[in-house]
């Protein structure tokens, strides 16, 4: 067996660096989510104590927004890892190879910007639903018919052409990068932002199910994270989405009727 070339060694090193950085970020996110979720359904005297307030001032709204940002990063970054790793490998081989780390950071920043924007919308939506008394103080559906309606929405969305188109790009990182390639740091940010939009188009309805099962329900968060990951990377993910759509739809109809 021939010894690896310098380029192969660099690519291998980049995979470890990018993969390691992703693992650290995701681990830090879950290190905040897990204790907060456990405390949420416990004494609520620890990391989730700030949620027990009757006055949602700027400080509490900022904490709620931060909670959503961290949760979305922890849930969505694992499924974006294949695209980010392939992008890092391609950049290393390109004329921008010397700036590979900067471009990968730009890609990640563009991707997270999309989910940060979604987190802002989710924060506003949560406070509005709480104002309407459609969410309990535990941040889950106050009425099972409301929870069922969210499930029906998510189930029906699984069958739409837009869902399938966005999922196809998420499942085909090489095709996505080939079709939309841009050079430079601005190009990396654009690619990350665009991939985030496709990811959002694929998963927004599933993320709304957090309002049905509990925004800080650890089992619900973990289940959605695994589901999104399998849908994007598993061999059966493309066709499994339709099967899951029937299951989600059936459960929603059962809750409503």
The residue segments making up the domain with residue 224 are: 6-256
Q: Is residue 1 assigned to a domain? A: no
Q: Given a cut of 80, is residue 2 above it in pLDDT?
A: no
Q: Is residue 17 assigned to a domain? A: yes
Provide the 3-class DSSP secondary structure of residue 245: helix
Q: Give the total number of structural domains in the chain.
A: 1
Contacts with 161 (C-beta within 8 Å, 6 or more apart), sequence order: none
For residue 50 the two structure tokens come to 């700030």
Residue 74 · residue 225 · CB < 8 Å? yes
pLDDT at 13: 61
Q: Give the Cα separation of 70 and 37 in Å (integer).
A: 13
The per-residue pLDDT of the chain, averaged, comes to 89
pLDDT at 14: 63
Q: Is residue 186 assigned to a domain? A: yes
List, for residues 197-242, the tens digit of each pLDDT value.
Answer: 999 999 999 999 999 998 989 999 999 999 999 999 888 877 767 7
Q: For residue 135, which phi and psi values (nearest 5 degrees)? A: -115, 140
Confidence of residue 7 (pLDDT cuts 50, 70, 90): very low
pLDDT at 52: 83
Q: Give the Cα separation of 156 and 205 in Å (integer).
A: 9
* Mean pLDDT value of segment 126-151: 91
Q: Which residue shows structure tokens 């980049």?
A: 14
Q: Is residue 71 assigned to a domain? A: yes
Residue 155 · residue 147 · CB < 8 Å? no
Q: Is residue 250 assigned to a domain? A: yes
pLDDT at 84: 92
Whether this model's pTM surpasses 0.85: yes
pLDDT at 238: 73
List, for residues 54-73, the tens digit of each pLDDT value.
Answer: 889 999 999 999 999 999 99
pLDDT at 41: 85
pLDDT at 190: 97
Q: Which residues pair with 135 in a beta bridge?
A: 141
Residue 176: Cβ-neighbour burial (10 angstroms; 0-12, 13-18, 19+): buried
Provide the 3-class DSSP secondary structure of residue 135: strand
Q: Given a cut of 50, is residue 144 above it in pLDDT?
A: yes
| 19 vs 129, higher pLDDT | 129
């Amino acid at each position: 067996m021939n010894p690896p070339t310098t380029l192969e060694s660099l690519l291998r090193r980049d995979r470890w660096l990018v993969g390691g950085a992703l693992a650290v970020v995701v681990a830090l996110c879950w290190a905040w989510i897990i204790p907060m979720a456990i405390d949420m359904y416990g004494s609520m005297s620890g990391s989730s104590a700030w949620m027990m307030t009757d006055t949602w001032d700027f400080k509490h709204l900022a904490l709620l927004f931060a909670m959503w940002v961290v949760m979305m990063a922890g849930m969505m970054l694992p499924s974006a890892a294949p695209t980010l790793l392939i992008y890092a490998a391609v950049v290393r081989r390109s004329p921008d190879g010397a700036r590979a780390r900067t471009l990968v950071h730009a890609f990640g920043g563009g991707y997270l910007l999309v989910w940060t924007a979604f987190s802002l919308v989710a924060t506003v939506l949560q406070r509005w639903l709480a104002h309407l008394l459609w969410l309990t103080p535990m941040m889950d559906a106050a009425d099972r018919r409301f929870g069922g309606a969210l499930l029906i929405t998510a189930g029906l969305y699984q069958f739409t052409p837009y869902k399938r188109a966005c999922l196809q790009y998420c499942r085909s990182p090489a095709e996505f990068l080939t079709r939309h390639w841009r050079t430079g740091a601005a190009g990396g940010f654009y690619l990350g932002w665009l991939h985030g939009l496709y990811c959002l188009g694929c998963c927004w309805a599933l993320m709304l199910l957090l309002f049905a099962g509990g925004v800080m329900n650890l089992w619900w968060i973990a289940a959605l994270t695994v589901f999104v990951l399998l849908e994007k990377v598993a061999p059966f993910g493309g066709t499994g989405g339709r099967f899951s759509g029937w299951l989600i739809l059936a459960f929603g109809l059962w809750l409503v009727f």
